[in-house]
Structure 1
Amino acid sequence: MSNLIEAKGVTLRYGRNKTAVDDVSFTLPKGRVVGLLGHNGAGKTTLMKALVGLKATEGELTVLGRSPVAERSQLLTELSYIPDVAVLPRWARAHELITLMSGLQPKFSAERARQLLRRTSVGLNDKVKSLSKGMVVQLHLALIAAIDAKLMILDEPTLGLDVISRKGFYEMLIDEWCDGERSVLISTHQVEEIEALLTDVLMMDEGKLVLNLSLEAMESRFVALSHDPEAAEEVARAHPLLRYRSMGGKPAALFDGAPPPHLESMGQRFRPSLVDLFVALTRKPELAPRA
């Protein structure tokens, strides 16, 4: 299977007036760590629900070679999924959840789950209700990562966690699950925290896919140019994607492609961050016009 996900013209509507996912097309090969980025309400969670068969869509969609809706039971035995509202039973102990997973998921390894838990501060006898939010997320990841799957789908997995907990989660994910064959699709709006983990970016805005690119291709396609304040009007006339201030405080502009040649002598190129690109290509919900 060359692509773990194949989506072509995927559209999902709520009623007559709300299009949550609008004509989205992409593929996800094996061995990739893909960030699905967008503001809250951009359509990320709806798309992920479609990928695991919770929402029917228009267009063509296969995940691990299966139709997510028609073959959902089989599909859920072959992938790992943590939704944005993931909840573990508060009464259960960690070892009881491992036993439960062993009975529910044919590709789950109890020994692997215990091995992963040893990387965390969660004990086998700890009850979920006694754990901090960060520890619950670590426990959930250990359970999901113990499934022998080729694809993991994570919807805002670190939402509400502190910086240290988020860092620990992603370190465990990369160290213990990503092996060059498996792929991960991570939905988040915490762009700056996951840029270093990603191989590819899918960026959504108001239901549409506005960017589908590898990080390597992004570096060669998008160019940032810092410049003196005196050159601001000349730079503005070149219609950059974004005008902002660089980390050094100098005015800067972000271009899709090389800046016009006459601007090159007015400034200095530098690598734009994924956050800068995110700001340039998506619209913050608070800026949207009111109905």
Structure 2
Amino acid sequence: MQETILSVDLGGTKILIGEVTQEGKILSSKKYSSNVTSQRLATEKITAAIEDYLEEQPIYGKLLGLAVCVVGRVDTKNGIWIEIHPGLSEPIDLVKELRETFKLPCWITNDVTGAALAEQFLGMGKFTDDFIYLNIGTGIAGRIIAEKRLVRGGSFNAGEVGHMVVDMSSEEVCACGRRGCVELFASGLGMHNQTLKYLEKYPDTCLTPMENERISFQELIEAYEQEDRLAKKVVDQALHAAAALTMNLIRVSDPEAVVYGGGVMNDGWFLSHLVTLLNEKTIRFVKKGFQVTTLDPNTIALKGAATGAFMKLKGELLDGSI
């Protein structure tokens, strides 16, 4: 019987659970509703979802353990879910709780870290030991794999690159307290906010924001292609900011490849325009290039959590704990 991991991906609106093989094949999966208004409520939702899955879904392999991706900061070594974000912190020993409830080894990690691990073991990591995984979606975050090692940091906070400053003259204040962070300009939410900011200056725009609804990146692209001046301002600003972020990270970590994920990057449009803004002297050592992940964005974190757990159980993961 093949060995499997029961993997859990906690998102803002859903929990995805799947039984995953070491090769990243999902044998079965099911979605549940989530609640991330607090870590305790989220933990209760995760526990209930796992209970339901084990009761209602067939198990096709030999389960070796549980692997859970959560939003926010995670002490992977000790199994502690530290916080959803700095303003919403209620440290929970999630590994201990799940291990005691389900009598299985358990491993937890952050969702972007999970995606980076999937890329390491199932994607770009097959071709290089040194790469950057950069997720540009509602927010921006990234992870660096250097000499096969995932860089985590002393407080498990490495990779929060959305708070890298790309505009020193900006008066825009980020949630982190700094001014000019890339997330303000190049994330999906940032582009929405920038559109609203400049809306009155472009009365001829075809962009028509609806109350309580976010302007999608697809709407911005369509307007951009129609030469809409507001869309061009917002998207060009985002492209330059993301290009600056990419080059800064290249200078810091000397990768052989940069892999992009997240909703803004999914169809390749953003990347095809971003690469035209990269300085040749800066990127000359990125020999394996720039690409959007080839892994399914809907399941990349689920697969990454599972493959990370497999590697740790087999003693092949150079960081983390289970």
TM bucket by the smaller chain? under 0.3
Hey, which of these two has a bigger chunk of helix by percent? Answer: 2
Hey, which of these two has a bigger chunk of strand by percent? Answer: 1
Could you tell me the TM-score, scaled by structure 2's length?
Answer: 0.26
